[in-house]
Structure 1
Amino acid sequence: MTALVLTRDASGEFVLPAELLAAQFGWPAETLQGLMRRGLVASRVERGEGEDEGRFRLTVRCGNRRWQAVVEADGRVSGQHFEVIPTKGRAAGR
């Protein structure tokens, strides 16, 4: 299995090609791009501190779906997780 490696642009921001990110959600790139145009995709980058110094956690969320990746200083993704977050307000057992 090939390791996932992310690049950074001239300003140091991570570059996530639409095809790569869409694949994490199980969607075609066109679906993700449409959601992005509608402002339905949010992302966050957190810089590691202490023992996590030099690492980053990237989080991309769309609706109730979230993909997170831990990225090492060299851009290599050392861990990732995808989850569907239960919607609030639904009664248990329905």
Structure 2
Amino acid sequence: MDTLHRLAAALAAAALAFTSTPAWADHEFDLDCSDFPTQREAQEHMNAHPGDPDFFDADFDGIACECNPEVPGGPIPIDCTEYPDYDPFP
């Protein structure tokens, strides 16, 4: 009977593993900073998707899309000369 319980537990674990969805799977892929009008919206998206699957945090400091403005159409909040080809709104 002990073997039957172990087999049932193993099958249940396998079924759970195949039906679980990773946290990053519930969003559109290939998003860019330019898809968000503000840094805050990009930050909220990055925080909701652990592992930064869209690579919004290029310098790994925990801040997403640092060259996006704080308000739509507003000034860029940091010196983005570090990213010379970056255009948040092409």
TM-score interval, normalised by the smaller of the two chains: under 0.3
- TM-score normalised to structure 1 length: 0.24
The answer to which structure, 1 or 2, has the higher relative contact order (CA under 8 A, 6+ apart) is 2
Instruction: Give the helix-richer structure, 1 or 2.
Output: 2
Q: Which one has the largest radius of gyration?
A: 2
- TM-score normalised to structure 2 length: 0.24
